[in-house]
Amino acid sequence: MSPSLSIPRRIRSTPFRFFNEAQGVKAYTVYNHMLLPTVFHSVEDDYWHLKEHVQIWDVACERQVEIAGPDAARLIQWMTPRDLRNAAPLQCLYAPLTDERGGMVNDPIVIKLDPERYWLSIADSDVLLWAKGLALGGGFDVTICEPDVWPLAVQGPKSDALLEQVFGREVRDIRFFRCKWMSFRDHPLLIARSGWSKQGGFEIYVDDKALGTTLIAALLEAGQSLNVRGGCPNAIERIEGGLLSYGNDMTLLENPLECGLDKYCHIGGDLDFLGRDALAKIKAEGVRRKIVGLKFSSDSIPACSDAWPVSRAGEPIGEVTSAAVSPLFKCGIAFAMLARGHWQEGHTVTVATPEGPREAAVSRLPFTGNGTGQ
């Protein structure tokens, strides 16, 4: 049974709360000091709907940190091991942010609006303060703010069909992880083909509250025949899909190499960034722990709201960071940070859940197979 959530002004509402409530939101969480819906019908019902139809998500909590000015590109490049030097305008770049030890500060999508103006669409930590601190300390010539932008996501296999009706045929031409300025009621809106599911879809960067209300009404109207409804990032779908979550699966205590984000880290070249030496050393020595998948031998696992210890033959080898019961694989699945020597696919481990020990097998990420642990 979930406890109630007290919502003082400190926990910021969103312009779309009326919509969540009209759609019967059952629970929220708090993300970037802001409300984020987590359940509408039930997590499993929401999951099936997301995989078959199309949903409108209030992800206003994906705050934008705008960094602008002559030193904007230099500051942002200092903040991430991702090589942004050849970033194209209106490209979305997933970029782990690291501190001096290589620990993860956040994992935003960076959008280059123009050569001197960027948005970082952030996960749950105060990147505004981090970026401002670095800039003030280091004397960068930038201005940094959190603009009034509230992303609205449209996710699910019918997303293209829905957005075409509202924005026209050309919305289909937006490539994966690219943005385009589209017009709605004569107001330009940035639309990206992105979003926190593996079901396809878009994120619309709404910068006008009243227009957001009009947009939602238009999407609901256009989507009637597509079985559109309100939704939210889905705890099952994102684990099945291998989407890590900052704060859950990675924190300041983990580095991007431990989180399997090697391909976003330009280490050992001529790129300079915070944590470069630390990450180079870690890469040379090999990581001592890494995130892997786990498939449980049953579907009997409790809700995961804390790290669950993982052992093998009695020896502690790591912990589960997120878990869910997968309708696709018909068993519990999890992400686990495990020590070196224990990453071999199929190896059996024991997870100490609050409801007792559970057997699980190490799996590659993203998960594959048919639910029998294969």
Q: Single out the segment in contact with a second copy by CB under 8 A; choices: 82-90, 130-138, 154-162, 191-199.
A: 130-138
Of the pair 182, 324, the CB lying nearest a second copy is at: 324
Smallest distance from a second copy to CB 124, Å? 6
Q: Is 26 in the site for a second copy (CB under 8 A)?
A: yes
What is the C-alpha to C-alpha distance for residues 263 and 347, in angstroms, rounded to an integer? 26
Smallest distance from a second copy to CB 188, Å? 26
Window 27-66: residues binding a second copy (CB under 8 A):
27-31, 33, 38-39
Smallest distance from a second copy to CB 9, Å? 5
Smallest distance from a second copy to CB 33, Å? 7
Of the pair 238, 266, the CB lying nearest a second copy is at: 238
Site mask, a second copy, residues 337-366, x = CB under 8 A?
------------------------------
Which helix or strand (DSSP H or E) is residue 285 part of?
Answer: helix 276-285
Q: Is 309 in the site for a second copy (CB under 8 A)?
A: no
Using the rule CB under 8 A, which residue among 304, 333, 349, 360 binds a second copy?
304
Of the pair 100, 170, the CB lying nearest a second copy is at: 100
Q: Is 314 in the site for a second copy (CB under 8 A)?
A: no
Q: In angstroms, how far is CA 11 from the centroid of its own chain? A: 20
Where do we find the tokens 């224990």? 342
Q: Is 100 in the site for a second copy (CB under 8 A)?
A: yes
- Identity at 256, one-letter amino acid code: P
What is the C-alpha to C-alpha distance for residues 309 and 360, in angstroms, rounded to an integer? 12
β-strand partners of 311? 316, 350
Using the rule CB under 8 A, which residue among 227, 305, 348, 374 binds a second copy?
305
Window 250-279: residues binding a second copy (CB under 8 A):
252, 274
Using the rule CB under 8 A, which residue among 98, 194, 322, 353 binds a second copy?
322
Where do we find the tokens 């033959």? 313
Where do we find the tokens 């107001």? 187
Q: Single out the segment in contact with a second copy by CB under 8 A; choices: 50-58, 59-67, 126-134, 192-200.
A: 126-134
Tokens of 3: 């406890």
Of the pair 232, 265, the CB lying nearest a second copy is at: 232
Q: Which long-range contacts (CB under 8 A, 24 or more apart) does 25-31 make?
A: 25/230, 25/232, 27/2, 30/5, 31/61, 31/124
Q: Is 5 in the site for a second copy (CB under 8 A)?
A: yes
What is the C-alpha to C-alpha distance for residues 119 and 334, in angstroms, rounded to an integer? 31
Where do we find the tokens 């495990």? 338
Q: Is 197 in the site for a second copy (CB under 8 A)?
A: no
What is the C-alpha to C-alpha distance for residues 68 and 81, in angstroms, rounded to an integer? 20
Tokens of 169: 């045929």
Q: Which long-range contacts (CB under 8 A, 24 or more apart) does 75-78 make?
A: 75/131, 75/134, 75/135, 75/138, 75/140, 75/142, 76/110, 76/118, 76/120, 77/271, 77/272, 77/273, 78/134, 78/138, 78/272, 78/273, 78/274
Interface residue list for a second copy (CB under 8 A): 2-11, 13, 25-31, 33, 38-39, 99-100, 105, 124-140, 235, 245-248, 252, 274, 304-307, 321-322
